[in-house]
Structure 1
Amino acid sequence: MKKILCLFGVLTLALASCSKDDDDNNSGNGTNAILVKTVTVTYPEYPSENSESGVTYNGNKLVSVSGKDSRTDYTYEGNLIVKQIDYEIEDGKDSKSYEVSYRYTNGKLAESIYSENFTSQYPFGQYKGRSVYTYNPDGTVKRDSYSTDYNTGIETKSPYIALLTLVNGNITKSVVTYTTPSSHYVYTSEYEYDTKNTPLKNVLGYSLLLGEDESSSNNIVKRTKFSVYGSEVLEPYVNKTTYEYNANGYPTKKIEYREDGVTVEAITEYTY
């Protein structure tokens, strides 16, 4: 999905709770809110992948993110984002590539349901699935995943289960386990953050979308990943990100580095 969504980054997996000040800023009129207008992504080693997108709003509500080759549209019910559709654009024509619907309970994301690979043969999407979120008393969130066979309609639970740890609106730890009768893997990610605003802080409803970057309270500066395959423990590796900020504490540039800490993977620039 997702080139446009990657402009905002992928897999922060954060959930932010709004303070009264945030509620005032996110009232929906957008009069004084600071909102991202354009996002430009540069890949030094893969310049053909460079992209620039414009972001449109209705007040503080996100309407679409549009680039040369792709677009993502958003649908709201009240102040909640309930649907997101990705399109690929070729020869001026839109072609749906991915769709996800969101369901909430007590103001928290309860379920996301997706379909992808829309073709003439599969007009409703070849691949379908959903994620179900359970909020634990200790502040962690469990995410169970399911997939549905297109031909039989039978739903199967995925062997992947994620447990997310939330601290002050930021995911500080994600543990994904994969267990089958013959295999057992564990993927752990630990995150460190700055104290600044995320680019999408003032977008109404975006802070509730677990799984999207910049739905967190702050910006990731370090991600450490650990992997265990059965009895084999692999060496951890680290990805670092640096930022430049404007006078209001919002990032104007994000630089993501590879594991060596020197090679630049991507540069993202924001205007407001």
Structure 2
Amino acid sequence: MKKFFCLFSVLALLIGSCSDNDGTSSDSGFNINGTKLKRAILNSNAASGAITYDYFYNGNRLARIVSSDMSYFKYTYTDELITKIEFFKNNVLKNIDFLEYNNDNKLITRKQIRGNTGYKVVYTHNNDGTISIFGYTGDSVNQNTPTDLNKKVFFVNGLVSKIESYSIIDGSLETLFTNYTHDTANTPTSLILGYDKLTYYDQGNFQNVHNLTSITYSSTVNDIVDVDEIVNVYNADNFLSKATAVDLEDNNGPPLIFEYFYE
């Protein structure tokens, strides 16, 4: 379940309520029905309570996602592609992501700068339709030192169906398999311009055109590690309005509940 929470955190990319000071839309009409995502709420039954994420736009371009914890992401576009994402905490810039694409508008490089430290993720689009992902670190100018990030993403009908994560443990290669199933309805962010290019942006599967219905974790050294089941509810426009994620391997664990509101 903790892995699923991480996936949602990447999906949400953080947002709460903020003033309209840069020309973005900030009207407060939140509805269950509709197609333009305005608000997402995560309730994990934790002591900290629910977290609210509000979405602000310039037309159909995402401008900001602001969280109720006073952190937010700011988006910059080049034509129809998201090319820069800035993360702020208490109005202080913490890091910047720069995104590069090939001539087919496929993401090939993500560079994140945090002060004097830089991180780079390289996405290689293989001839068999898979994507290999490798990580590097360094300073704010050059990132050439390999990290332990080593993954391969598999697709079925354009959806992320499996991610294999490779690591060396006690001198032996271990592979973690993460398998996904999906419904046929629309995701809350499916109409945000450029968001579909970020399917494999960070932890893997957070932006497909359809919604997750299960996540299964296994590895080459253990049996099933974890199984998360997601029960979805949809609005009149066939967009996700509520998702309840349950860890089937942890019967006593509280579910994660996500609610979505539109205009």
TM > 0.5? yes
Is the Cα contact below 8 Å between 1:4 and 1:67 reproduced in 2?
no
* 1:154 CA displacement: 6.3
Q: How many residues align?
A: 232
Contact 2:60 2:191 in 1 (8 A): yes
Distance 2:208 2:96 in 1: 22
- Checking the alignment, whether the CA contact within 8 Å between 2:12 and 2:65 is kept in structure 1 is no
Counterpart AA for 1:128: G
How has the CA–CA distance of structure 1 residues 167 and 3 changed in structure 2, closer, same or farther, with 3 Å as cutoff? closer
Specify the alignment match of 2:212 in structure 1: 220
Residue 243 of structure 1 is matched in structure 2 by: 232
Q: CA-to-partner distance for each residue in 1:108-150, whole Å, 9 max, x for gaps?
A: 001000123xxxxxxxx25421111111121111111111157
In structure 2, C-alpha distance between the alignment counterparts of 1:71 and 1:40, rounded to whole Å? 15
Deviates more, 1:174-183 or 1:80-89: 174-183
Q: Does structure 1 residue 110 correspond to structure 2 residue 108?
A: yes
**Residues of 1 paired with 2:72 and 2:146: CA distance?**
31
Per-residue Cα deviation, 1:203-224 (whole angstroms, up to 9, x for no partner) = 0000001236542111111111
Matches of 2:6 and 2:214, distance apart in 1: 22
**Is 1:160–1:179's contact at 8 Å kept on the other side of the alignment?**
no
**Residue-by-residue CA offset, 1:48-107 (whole Å, 9 max, x unaligned):** 152112111111100001123211110000000001111112xxxx11223211000021
Taking the aligned partners of 2:151 and 2:143, their CA distance within structure 1 comes to 22
Say whether residues 1:253 and 2:251 are aligned partners. no
- Which letter maps to 2:196? S
In structure 2, what residue type is equivalent to 1:169? Answer: G
Cα deviation, 1:130-182, whole Å, max 9, x if unaligned, reads 111111121111111111157x9662112431110112221101001123783
Residue pair 1:3, 1:70 contacting (<8 A) in 2 also: no
RMSD between superposed Cα atoms in Å = 2.7
Offset of residue 268 of structure 1: 1.1
Give runs of aligned pairs for residues 81-160 of structure 1, distance below 5 A: 81-89=82-90, 94-106=91-103, 107-116=105-114, 125-148=115-138, 155-160=144-149
TM-score (norm 2): 0.79
Which residue of 2 is the match for residue 171 of structure 1? Answer: 160
* Residues in 2 aligned to 1:196 and 1:270: alpha-carbon distance in whole angstroms: 14
d(CA) in 2 for partners of 1:3, 1:50: 15
Shift of 1:47: 3.5
- Distance change (3 Å), C-alpha of 1:189 and 1:7: closer
Q: What is the TM-score with the length of structure 1 in the denominator?
A: 0.77
SS at match of 1:85: strand
Unaligned runs of 5+ residues in structure 2 are: 14-33
SS of 1:208 mapped into structure 2: helix
Distance in 1 (alpha carbons) for counterparts of 2:10 and 2:165: 24
Q: Secondary structure at the match of 2:48?
A: helix
Partner of 2:17: none
Q: Mark the CA change 1:180 to 1:237 in structure 2 (over 3 Å): closer, same or farther.
A: closer
2-structure distance, mates of 1:271, 1:51: 14
Query: Partners of 1:85 and 1:5 in 2: how far apart?
Result: 18
Partner of 1:61: 61
2:255 aligned counterpart, secondary structure: strand
| Residue pair 1:159, 1:178 contacting (<8 A) in 2 also | yes
Task: Tell me the equivalent position of 2:81.
Answer: 80
| Partner in structure 2 of residue 52 of structure 1 | 52
8 Å Cα contact 1:4/1:65 also seen in 2: no
Deviates more, 1:196-205 or 1:235-244: 235-244
- For the 8 Å contact 2:11–2:207, the answer to whether it is kept is no
Aligned partners of 1:74 and 1:81 also within 8 Å: yes
Q: Percent identical across equivalent pairs? A: 24
Q: What is the match of residue 37 of structure 1?
A: 38
